[in-house]
Amino acid sequence: GQQLNQSPQSMFIQEGEDVSMNCTSSSIFNTWLWYKQDPGEGPVLLIALYKAGELTSNGRLTAQFGITRKDSFLNISASIPSDVGIYFCAGLNPNSGYALNFGKGTSLLVTP
């Protein structure tokens, strides 16, 4: 599968702070997805992006599809303790068939 580089690997922040994480790829994607995984659960879709330059929000979350189609970022504003979890970026390219490629995840810890 295609390599996705996700950073940072982990973040330890205080409640109320804003968070930013990003993902880059050596290949072009037609779709970028951001997932969150809580302990003991499967990843849950947060935001889906379909067009280069697209900026999409879901509550306190905002994600953008990079102009080059090789990168995406996710911002979380005013973090709260329940934001704790692992955030994954994922990319999809129709040429790669039926396989969503995942980044290695950003582990987020939020202290009250």
Among 12, 26, 82, 97, binds another protein (CB under 8 A): 97
- For another protein, give the closer residue by CB, 14 or 26: 26
Binding range to another protein, per CB under 8 A, among 19-27, 28-36, 58-66, 69-77 = 28-36
Cβ proximity of 2 and 100 under 8 Å: no
With tokens 């189609």, the residue in question is 69
Half-sphere exposure of 66 (CA within 13 A, CB side): 17
Residues 54-83 that bind another protein (CB under 8 A): none
Q: How many residues bind another protein (CB under 8 A)?
A: 26
> Distance of alpha carbon 15 from its chain centroid, rounded?
20
- What CA dihedral angle connects 53, 62, 75 and 1, to 10 degrees? -60
Establish if 107 lies at the interface with another protein (CB under 8 A).
Answer: yes
Q: List contacts with another protein (CB under 8 A).
A: 1, 30-31, 33, 37, 40-45, 48, 50, 86, 88, 92, 94, 97-102, 104-105, 107
